[in-house]
A and B are shown apart, each in its own frame.
Chain A
């Protein structure tokens, strides 16, 4: 069974600073990987996804993530954070065997200081 760990419950950064949110997964093969963002009281929106190929994935809103097989990680990065990036971020893994059920991490809450 797959699992996802987001080790940081909260992350605080200053506006304009760089950001890295960590995600580690456990799965026997190369999984499908996702990052979602959730603003308060809203649904989740897909930021980016990795299925195969280039391990550096570009997403919306200036986010990128890098798949590192050796570290079982899929960390999310942004070079310069904006106040509007304050939200909850979820990493998820989907099994490549055709499973319909992704596994979500517990989420990381991003706080942005002006």
Chain B
């Protein structure tokens, strides 16, 4: 079955540590996205990539970094510079051009 796989589903981190969230898709989609979701705040775009080896900042990119070395993979690193990293993170992909997104199951990051 085609889809998007995010891992880990739950992650705990100590303050000051970087953590990387994995996102893999086998849908052959060109575009991939990372969103952050906080209670009552909807979805906020962190980074997106329309093509391999290229990505753009979204609305809340500070404290995050990404890479897109392969079409299938778009990992997100939450750095120690992110002031309030505890959140639910969603990865998505799309064929591109319409805005229709396919989402993973999400990763919940908790900073202790």
Binding site for B on A (CB under 8 A): 9, 32, 34, 36, 41-46, 49, 51, 90, 92-95, 98-102, 104-107
Contact = CB atoms under 8 A, between A and B. Distances in A.
A71 to B, nearest CB: 21
Given A93-B99, A101-B99, A104-B43, A43 B104 contact: yes
Given A100-B50, A101-B48, A105-B42, A94 B105 contact: no
Interface in B91-108: 92, 94, 96-106, 108
B84 interface: no
A100 B106 contact: no
Interface residues of B, number: 27
Interface of B: 4, 6, 31, 40-43, 45, 48, 50, 58, 88, 90, 92, 94, 96-106, 108
Contact of A42 (B31, B41, B105): B105
Contact of B99 (A9, A34, A105): A34
A42 B90 CA distance: 9
A44 B97 contact: no
B96 A100 contact: yes
Nearest to B90: A43
